Chains A and B, each alone.
Chain A
């Protein structure tokens, strides 16, 4: 029975001019967005690989020099473009893709706000995600606003009611018909995306793509259910359309902006300039409630000496070895300062993100946006993983340089120079993106919110269908 109703709805929709025109536009937009995104992503990735190769070459061919100076010279690392960035570029365009790694400096996380903002603001990029998140709901509204109210207005609702079909079956049939119509319109885009992945995607990208499908399916399910709910409740098709467009504006434009503002007010973040000032002040004075800088470094030095078996024997040590250990003590003190500020900043960002995630209770768009960026590997969590791994890489590099200085400088001291052999020992930076399981865990709120929306909208649509007045 449900299939019969769905087939009827589909046949009616397909023969409707709205479907033909809207559908053609949607397919064109989707395919254009995907092709544009694919071209942009592959070009970006090629540029980054080339830049990373140049940066690596600049490091390994920097010439002979003191290893600590080499640590100052540092190197650039580039964030590889996520394969699925062609679907959802997420925050990539806002958070930057390169970090300079050098002794005594850590690049601090910034631009978390890029995760927020209005979806429309990002629509300028014409990404497939923007089309899916913003325009497809409008298409669902255009195709579905009169599915119930139109039956009432045409008078066919009486025929349906007189036929003895259960309202629940009618609702399921209408939802299925609309869903299949949508699937037909999205199929070309799915095929293009699949083709793009077949050309340049790995197994991980396929898995993430496979996870994106049910996420968007759930999102469209919510929109379909809400559309049918409103259509069943509205006194006329015109009222249904106005109400649905109002809801779209509220959930797609107003709530995301408000959520971002509320999160920013609830958990204010320091500006990059203020944060840098605070870090430098702490570096100069010492950690709050901790030892002053010099005493702190001295304490770390002693610990390092003890670890090396030189406790109390500084006067008998090689100057270079002592200097090398002191340099490392200073680096570790700086790391402690960076960790102190970065931990506080990341905690504040996480609180901000939680506020924004819970705001998905008011807008399913916020939930799917978060899920989409996360599964595409372009959300702030992925950028944070890049920044954290790059920082670990920096610390290892500095440690290796200081260690070489301490072990090999000997009487030459600061005149000691290491060569290409040492530079080549530093393995190239390789980003390990968060595993899908980790992404799943991080996105639990978004999944829960989307599921809650589905349950609530489904329940509302069912009740509205059962309570529909035939006359």
Chain B
């Protein structure tokens, strides 16, 4: 757990529980992520990582407990809390008939930043690593990595204070993954709290301030990465997976 302070955590789950009929997807999760912190959530498929992200996004209602973003309950402030978050799934899906710039303009306007002009939006795409010539091309021609970059640009342009990532580097080549990680670190340095669900132990250690391991809907381990080596993290992870 991050240390308690008077500033509300960017992302907070309290006794969060989600069931589907008899199946328990999440067992009373408690989690708190501060501004500028990158928290990586590791776990096998079906461990509850994506469910956690979806609960933060308000896509599904919790069975018990609550989710807060900057101190506001997602259940009671569904639209307000979304003003502060950005979401990057495994595949950032955009409108294929619109250009990268048009997609960015559309989503940032929906998020209440319609005042950003094309030049400003272009700089966000540039900072996210998208080549200027690509910004004016239709997204239908983009690679997955290019779409992820538009997703990052959307988060930056929106001025999101929390970033929710669900397997964002899955399927990216090493170079793309590295670029993506650097972007996350840049955002973290700017004070954005980041929750990233991932299978990638190496990258979790590289960029995460803390790492949590989920199994069967429970957070079975939570540790800082500062004094942890890659091999330590891998060993701990595998130990939990083979329990």
Contacts and interface: CB of A to CB of B under 8 A. Distances in A.
B57 A162 contact: yes
A172 to B, nearest CB: 13
Contact of A155 (B83, B85, B93, B138): B93
Contacts of B95: 8, 12, 154, 156
B82 A162 contact: yes
A389 to B, nearest CB: 57
A236 to B, nearest CB: 16
Contacts, number: 70
A471 B93 CA distance: 14
B87 interface: yes
Contacts of B200: none
A15 interface: yes
Contacts of A8: 95, 98, 102, 106
Contact of B59 (A155, A156, A161): A161
Contacts of B110: 1, 4-5, 160, 163-165
A405 B196 CA distance: 106
Most buried by A among B83, B86, B93, B114: B93
Contacts of A105: none
Contacts of A159: 87, 92-94, 107
Given A161-B59, A162-B86, A471-B60, A156 B102 contact: no
Contacts of B58: 161
A163 B107 contact: yes
A40 interface: no
B79 interface: yes
Chain A contact residues (Cβ within 8 angstroms of B): what range? 20 to 34
B97 interface: yes
B112 A164 contact: yes
A442 interface: no
Contacts of B98: 8, 11-12, 15
A156 B110 CA distance: 13
Contacts of A162: 57, 82, 85-87, 164
B160 to A, nearest CB: 10
Main secondary structure on A side of the interface with B: helix
A5 B138 CA distance: 18
Contacts of A155: 89, 91, 93
Contacts of B94: 156, 159
A374 B122 CA distance: 56
B59 A12 contact: no
A166 B111 CA distance: 11
A164 B82 contact: yes
B93 A164 contact: no
Nearest to A471: B59
B177 interface: no
A4 B89 contact: no
Contacts of B86: 162
Contacts of B83: 164
Contacts of A470: 59
A4 B112 contact: no
B54 interface: yes
A158 interface: yes
Interface string B117-160: 00000000000000000000010000000000000000000000
A12 B164 CA distance: 28
B79 A4 contact: no
A162 B154 CA distance: 11
30 contacts: A1-B109, A1-B110, A4-B110, A5-B110, A8-B98, A8-B102, A8-B106, A11-B97, A11-B98, A12-B97, A15-B98, A154-B93, A154-B96, A155-B89, A155-B91, A155-B93, A156-B93, A156-B95, A158-B57, A158-B59, A160-B110, A161-B57, A161-B82, A162-B86, A162-B164, A163-B107, A163-B111, A164-B82, A164-B112, A471-B54
User: 6 closest pairs, A vs B, by CB?
Assistant: A164-B82, A155-B93, A162-B87, A163-B110, A15-B97, A470-B59
